[in-house]
């Protein structure tokens, strides 16, 4: 009588014998959370906001003031959206100096040019757009400061800083709760909202203001308009002329006839040369081009870094912990051993 041998795979280690080699385990995958271009851009926006806030605080500590021009009366030099830097006025006010002041009896702040100085030190002012003398006389004590510098368009960014700072804080908090696989989409949406929301709310790109008008013989209306947006514009009047490529801050005169409602309809669109349209299209498409380039580069890197199997064609069995690695196998030296298929069968 001899016990039949049973098949078991893989073979179990025997006590005191050599341990069979384990199949190779896959190397652990380590994730590298480096800074992506989107996180770098968010950091850059935060740094710019911090620099702007700290710079304004430092300017105010030295006695200066910051104001944003809100009306077109000082176009073309100080048009809507211009950020003006004021320093305290020392000594008497001179004709031709642009000063920031509060007219008598009001708390509204104006920035106009001095056109006349009276004997008691008070002065008269006027806006550059119409050069019409203002109806008030400003005492010397109402002067806040005189303009020493200005940056066109920077006032829009200055006004949007509270919005951007709040939005950036929400983005930083939200990024920590978003999974890595969705962080790219969240970053792209957040950066877009930081730019689009202030533009939609304040509308700094295309703007126009009527600063004077009068009716002439025949019922036509003569209007004086100013392009107080950041882009060159094309103006057209319904049943009237068309004026193309009006630069930002420029003042124009148009004649139009009222419609049945009694109003004169004036249309405004962006006016670019062909190379300006090409540049604008490139800027608009730049995020999409960057996304496609990043996607293509990621696929190329994944192909290059794909691991190579040192033993092609060899199929490794699945790895299990040593505690469950195989079962005992009957041996002629140990007839009492139970096979993997149950009790052994006898044969004659």
Q: Nearest Cα to 155, choosing from 270, 46, 234, 72?
A: 72
Compute CA 82 distance to the chain's CA centroid, rounded to the nearest angstrom: 21
**What is the C-alpha separation between 219 and 143, in angstroms, rounded?**
43
Q: Answer yes or no: is 344 within a domain.
A: no
Residue 85 above 50 pLDDT?
yes
The mean per-residue pLDDT over the stretch 222-234 comes to: 91
Give the angle subtended at the CA of 184 by the CAs of 179 and 185, to the nearest 5°: 95
- Number of Cβ within a 10 Å radius of residue 82: 24
Which of 270, 292, 320 delimits the end of a domain? 270
Stretch among 71-80, 290-299, 313-322 having the lowest mean pLDDT:
313-322
| Percent of the chain scoring above 90 in pLDDT | 24
Residue 316 above 60 pLDDT?
no
Structure tokens at 122: 């008070």
Q: Answer yes or no: is 49 within a domain.
A: no
Question: Could you tell me which residues are beta bridge partners of residue 221?
Answer: 215, 256
Q: Answer yes or no: is 107 within a domain.
A: yes
Q: Answer yes or no: is 98 within a domain.
A: yes
Q: Answer yes or no: is 119 within a domain.
A: yes
Q: Can you give the pLDDT at residue 319?
A: 56
The mean per-residue pLDDT over the stretch 156-176 comes to: 83
Q: Answer yes or no: is 335 within a domain.
A: no
Q: Answer yes or no: is 262 within a domain.
A: yes
How would residue 14 be classed by pLDDT, with cut points 50, 70 and 90?
very low
Pairing of strands 123-126, 110-117: antiparallel
The mean per-residue pLDDT over the stretch 130-144 comes to: 91
CATH of the domain at 125: 2.10.109.10
Q: Nearest Cα to 340, choosing from 330, 332, 15, 331?
A: 330
**Domain residue limits at 264:** 209-270
Q: Can you give the pLDDT at residue 234?
A: 92
The mean per-residue pLDDT over the stretch 325-329 comes to: 52
How would residue 183 be classed by pLDDT, with cut points 50, 70 and 90?
confident
Which of 270, 292, 310 delimits the end of a domain? 270
Instruction: Give me the number of domains the chain comprises.
Output: 2
Phi-psi sector, 313: left (phi>0), alpha (psi -120 to 50), beta: left
How would residue 164 be classed by pLDDT, with cut points 50, 70 and 90?
confident
Q: What is the DSSP string of 110-170?
A: EEEEEEEE-TTS-EEEE-TTT-PBPS--B-GGGEEEEEEEEETTHHHHHHHHHHHHHHHHH
How would residue 303 be classed by pLDDT, with cut points 50, 70 and 90?
confident
Peptide bond into 76 cis (omega under 30): yes
Which of 227, 255, 270 delimits the end of a domain? 270
Q: Can you give the pLDDT at residue 348?
A: 46
Q: Can you give the pLDDT at residue 261?
A: 78
How would residue 333 be classed by pLDDT, with cut points 50, 70 and 90?
low
Phi-psi sector, 28: left (phi>0), alpha (psi -120 to 50), beta: beta
**What is the C-alpha separation between 57 and 64, in angstroms, rounded?**
10
Per DSSP, 254 falls in state: E
User: What sign for the dihedral angle of Cα 241, 246, 249, 250?
Assistant: negative
How would residue 134 be classed by pLDDT, with cut points 50, 70 and 90?
very high
Compute CA 80 distance to the chain's CA centroid, rounded to the nearest angstrom: 22
- What confidence tens digit (pLDDT) does each residue in 251-281 have? 898 888 888 777 888 888 988 888 888 988 8
Q: Answer yes or no: is 213 within a domain.
A: yes
Q: Model-level pTM greater than 0.75?
A: no
């Amino acid at each position: 009588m001899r016990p039949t041998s049973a098949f078991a795979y893989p073979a179990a280690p025997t006590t005191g014998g050599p341990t069979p080699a384990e199949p190779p385990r896959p190397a652990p995958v380590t994730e590298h959370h480096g800074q992506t271009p989107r996180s770098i851009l968010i950091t850059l926006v935060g740094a710019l906001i911090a620099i702007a806030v700290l710079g304004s605080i430092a300017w105010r500590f030295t006695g200066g003031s910051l104001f944003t021009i809100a009306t077109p009366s000082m176009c073309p030099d100080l048009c809507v959206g211009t950020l003006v830097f004021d320093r305290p006025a020392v000594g008497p006010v001179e004709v031709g100096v642009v000063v920031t002041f509060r007219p008598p009896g009001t708390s509204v702040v104006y920035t106009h040019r001095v056109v006349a100085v009276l004997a008691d030190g008070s002065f008269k002012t006027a806006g550059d757009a119409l050069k019409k003398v203002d109806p008030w006389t400003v005492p010397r004590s109402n002067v806040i400061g005189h303009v020493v510098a200005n940056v066109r368009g920077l006032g829009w960014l200055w006004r949007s800083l509270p919005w951007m700072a709040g939005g950036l804080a929400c983005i930083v908090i939200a990024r920590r709760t978003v999974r890595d696989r969705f962080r790219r989409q969240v970053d792209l949406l957040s950066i877009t909202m930081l730019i689009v929301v202030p533009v939609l709310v304040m509308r700094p790109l295309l703007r126009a203001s009527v600063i004077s008008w009068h009716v002439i013989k025949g019922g036509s209306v003569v209007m004086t308009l100013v392009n107080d947006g950041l882009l060159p514009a094309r103006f057209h009047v319904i049943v009237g002329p068309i004026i193309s490529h009006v630069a930002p801050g420029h003042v124009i005169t148009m004649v139009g006839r009222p419609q049945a409602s009694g109003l004169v309809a004036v249309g405004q669109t962006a006016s670019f040369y062909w190379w300006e349209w090409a540049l604008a299209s490139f800027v608009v498409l730049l995020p999409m081009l960057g996304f496609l380039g990043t996607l293509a580069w990621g696929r190329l890197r994944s192909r290059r870094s794909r691991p190579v199997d040192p033993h092609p064609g060899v199929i490794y069995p699945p790895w299990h912990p040593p505690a469950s690695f195989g079962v005992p196998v009957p041996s002629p030296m140990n007839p009492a051993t139970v096979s993997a298929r149950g009790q052994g069968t006898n044969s004659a």
